[in-house]
């Protein structure tokens, strides 16, 4: 098992390096000469050359990449051309926690609402409830999240005035106010996942409930709730975690959109404003952070299988 | 995929008169899947609206009018007007044009790129195969919207740039499916037989491998159009895709966001147009996948 985990880790590292090379190389292709941008309209040939040397731009590509990667790992992400701030502070310490908080809340909503909904529609298969849940699941997976966010703002924020519609308060500093501010964005982002988890839970639980061990549990006279919520739900954990890991990319790109809808200062806002301002280093940092997040979580998903499924432990 | 036509599921009773040619005729599919048929009609409606937009739309989609700013839906403007006094119905109809064109062409770019990389990865073997596989892994490690954002950062904004950016961002999943199909086909008996008959490799690829890869790829193309439309309108919503005053749905939704408290129709109308199209396309896609792609496999 340790060997497997190490192998997985090695593969992940290779992919990480490739992604970083690709991101680095891609944004090298961007139009505009960084030296010219930094020097402004008027400069001498001498200052141009010394600046080029200073930035290391006279070096071959791989040397430049190695320099950049080394600095990146050490948390030296450079300075934003436009905001003139340290990108590491801006991106990693300020924007990333906002995005992670939003992702955390949506994922919690998705699991807390999606799993029970799926279980109920599996148990009440072929009833009106099941049909309703199916329609919701279909609509929810296809509905554009940014539209949903605007509709929620209109209904809960403007019409009913129940929730604040903008701004971010860190729930780690002020729990009550933070959660209050996260409810609408969290719901917006999680609808797709609620729908997806509902569909998946229903489909897998229906299969699981046909298994002999469920019949055995019933034969032992265990109460119905125990049969379903303990023996049944436990066995849908694996496919659920797999799909959640695979769909994490959708979650991350969803945060980008939701942040824009609700004006949350996360990675999404950082990326879009950097693209508009042609601030390539910031774009690079944002893309790298999302890639790391996605790859990291997928690694965790892979490593969690033996914990979730005893059959996968120590197969020699 | 080797079997092009999977046998019809035994649980599905044939509806209506039994077709005389095969039990799996085109006609029966529409009767067996009423939701699919309705969704297909909706999608075709969008396509017709897009083609005949200049004749269907009551106003010029970019004509601004100071006298008719932010009017709620009325007889003269069935879906209301926006903050420039532009007629929303006309903009929504022309928006269908942009959405479908962007969706279709970007998927074509993604499929073409995916075909090339997937074929190369599936046929080459050795270190090249390994390198290409890791390259696909690396592309798939980035969510398609983030990848598209990165391409937009380099390319700039505009309809053509959005098509290219979204298309490039979809190459990853397409090459994964093509590669998986190639791996399956190349170990089949008929490919081996063709090699043993010393038929040139390019001919084996052209006549035996490609036909078995193209069909599942075509299925993927139809399924992924809705994804391309969603990503492209997301880019426009973020303000980095199509530029104003192009009647693009994502852009219209973003413009309406600032006025949501007193003119909610500005975002809602193009939004519902987009949502209805996406729902219809996803039902159509599900139907096509279940009929023609029994493995239910998705690229990523």
In chain A, residues with a C-beta closer than 8 Å to the C-beta of B148 are: none
In chain B, residues with a C-beta closer than 8 Å to the C-beta of A268 are: 238
Per-residue tokens: A219: 């034969």
Residue B280: closest C-alpha in chain A: A142
Half-sphere exposure of A190 (CA within 13 A, CB side): 24
Distances (CA, A) of A206 to A7, A123, B171: 35, 8, 35
Question: What is the residue whose two structure tokens read 């693209």?
Answer: A275
**Dihedral, CA atoms, B105, B106, B112, B117, nearest 10 degrees?**
170
pTM metric for this prediction: 0.81
Task: State the pLDDT at residue A38.
Answer: 67
Per-window interface: B 241-270 vs A, CB < 8 A: 250, 253, 256-257, 260-261, 264, 267-268
DSSP 3-state of B81: strand
Consecutive H or E run containing B40:
helix B34-51
Instruction: Measure CA B26 to chain center.
Output: 22
Per-window interface: A 55-114 vs B, CB < 8 A: none
Q: Find the angle CA(B290)-CA(B295)-CA(B299) to the nearest 5 degrees.
A: 95
Put simply, the answer to whether A295 touches B141 (Cβ < 8 Å) is yes
**Dihedral, CA atoms, A116, A117, A118, A120, nearest 10 degrees?**
80
Per-residue tokens: B259: 């006025």
How far apart CA B104 and CA B51 sit, in angstroms, is 14
ipTM above 0.85, yes or no: no
User: Could you read off the pLDDT of B241-260 as tens digits, one per residue?
Assistant: 888 778 888 888 888 888 87
Put simply, the answer to whether B139 touches A22 (Cβ < 8 Å) is yes
How far apart CA A18 and CA B239 sit, in angstroms, is 29
> What residues form DSSP beta bridges with A79?
A86
**Residue pLDDT tens, chain A, 316 long:** 677 778 878 878 888 888 888 888 877 777 666 667 666 667 777 777 777 777 777 777 788 888 878 888 777 777 776 666 777 777 787 888 888 888 888 888 888 998 998 888 888 888 888 888 888 888 888 888 888 888 888 888 777 777 776 667 777 777 777 777 788 888 888 888 898 899 889 888 888 888 888 888 888 888 888 888 888 888 888 888 888 877 877 888 888 888 888 888 888 888 888 888 777 788 888 888 888 888 888 788 777 777 777 776 665 4
Per-residue tokens: B223: 């399924």
Please, are residues A205 and A125 in contact by the beta-carbon 8 Å criterion? no
Instruction: Measure CA B136 to chain center.
Output: 20
How far apart CA A274 and CA A286 sit, in angstroms, is 9
Put simply, the answer to whether B240 touches A19 (Cβ < 8 Å) is no
The minimal CB distance from A15 to the residues B134, B153, B268 is found for B134
Which of A184, A246, A275 has the highest number of chain B CBs within 10 A, making it the mutation to test binding with B?
Answer: A275
Of the candidates B189, B232, B190, B265, the residue with the CA atom closest to the CA atom of residue B98: B232
Helix segments in B141-264, DSSP class H? 144-155, 159-169, 171-186, 189-196, 201-204, 210-238, 249-257
* Polymer length in residues for chain A: 316
Mean of all residue pLDDT scores within chain B: 79
Which of B149, B161, B236 has the highest number of chain A CBs within 10 A, making it the mutation to test binding with A?
Answer: B149
């Amino acid at each position: 098992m340790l060997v497997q985990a190490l192998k997985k880790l090695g593969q992940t590292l290779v992919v990480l390096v490739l992604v970083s090379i690709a991101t680095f190389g891609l944004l090298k292709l961007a139009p505009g000469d960084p030296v010219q941008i930094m020097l402004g309209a008027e400069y001498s040939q001498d200052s141009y050359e010394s600046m080029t040397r200073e930035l290391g731009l006279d070096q071959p590509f791989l040397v430049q990449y190695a320099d950049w990667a080394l600095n990146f790992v050490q948390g030296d992400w450079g300075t934003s051309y436009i905001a003139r701030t340290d990108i590491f502070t801006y991106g990693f310490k300020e924007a990333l926690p906002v995005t992670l908080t939003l992702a955390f809340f949506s994922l919690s909503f998705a699991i807390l609402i999606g799993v029970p909904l799926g279980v109920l529609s599996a148990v009440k298969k072929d009833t009106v409830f099941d049909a309703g849940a199916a329609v919701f699941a279909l609509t929810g997976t296809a509905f554009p999240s940014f539209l949903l966010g605007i509709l929620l703002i209109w209904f809960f924020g403007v019409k009913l005035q129940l929730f604040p519609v903008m701004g971010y308060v860190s729930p780690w500093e002020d729990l009550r106010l933070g959660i209050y501010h996260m409810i609408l964005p969290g719901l917006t982002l999680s609808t797709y996942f609620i729908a997806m988890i509902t569909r998946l839970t229903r489909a897998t639980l229906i299969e699981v409930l046909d298994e002999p061990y469920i019949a055995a549990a019933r034969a032992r006279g265990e109460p119905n709730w125990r049969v379903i919520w303990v023996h049944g739900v436990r066995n849908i954990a694996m496919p659920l975690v797999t799909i959640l890991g695979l769909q994490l990319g959708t979650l991350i790109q969803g945060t980008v959109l939701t942040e824009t809808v609700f004006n949350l200062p996360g990675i999404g806002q950082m990326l879009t404003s950097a693209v508009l301002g042609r601030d390539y280093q910031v774009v690079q940092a944002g893309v790298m952070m999302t890639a790391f997040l996605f790859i990291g979580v997928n690694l965790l998903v892979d490593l969690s299988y033996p914990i979730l499924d005893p059959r996968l432990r120590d197969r020699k | 995929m080797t079997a092009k036509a999977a046998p019809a599921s035994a649980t599905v009773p044939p509806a209506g008169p039994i077709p005389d040619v095969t039990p799996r005729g085109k006609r029966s599919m529409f009767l067996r899947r009423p939701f699919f048929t309705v969704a297909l009609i909706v999608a075709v409606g969008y396509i017709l609206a897009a083609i005949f937009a200049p004749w269907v739309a009551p106003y010029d989609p970019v004509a601004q009018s100071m006298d008719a700013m932010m009017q709620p839906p009325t007889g003269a403007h069935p879906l209301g007007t926006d903050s420039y006094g532009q007629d929303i119905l006309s903009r929504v109809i022309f928006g269908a044009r942009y959405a479908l064109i962007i969706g279709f062409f970007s998927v074509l770019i993604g499929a073409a790129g995916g075909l090339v990389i997937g074929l190369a990865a599936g046929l080459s073997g050795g270190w090249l195969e390994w390198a290409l596989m890791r390259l696909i892994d690396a592309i798939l490690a980035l969510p398609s919207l983030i990848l598209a954002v990165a391409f937009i950062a380099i390319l700039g904004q505009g309809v053509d740039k959005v098509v290219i950016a979204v298309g490039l961002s979809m190459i990853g999943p397409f090459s994964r499916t093509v590669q998986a199909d190639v791996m399956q086909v190349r170990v089949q008996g008929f490919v081996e037989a063709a090699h043993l008959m010393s038929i040139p490799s390019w001919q084996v690829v052209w006549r035996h491998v490609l036909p078995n890869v193209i069909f599942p790829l075509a299925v993927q193309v139809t399924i992924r159009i809705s994804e391309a439309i969603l990503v492209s309108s997301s880019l426009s919503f973020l303000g980095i895709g199509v530029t104003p005053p192009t009647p693009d749905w994502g852009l219209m939704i973003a413009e309406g966001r600032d006025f949501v408290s007193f003119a909610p129709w500005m975002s809602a109308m193009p939004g519902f147009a987009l949502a209805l199209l996406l729902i219809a396309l996803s039902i159509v896609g599900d139907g096509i996948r279940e009929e023609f792609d029994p493995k239910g496999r998705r690229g990523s």
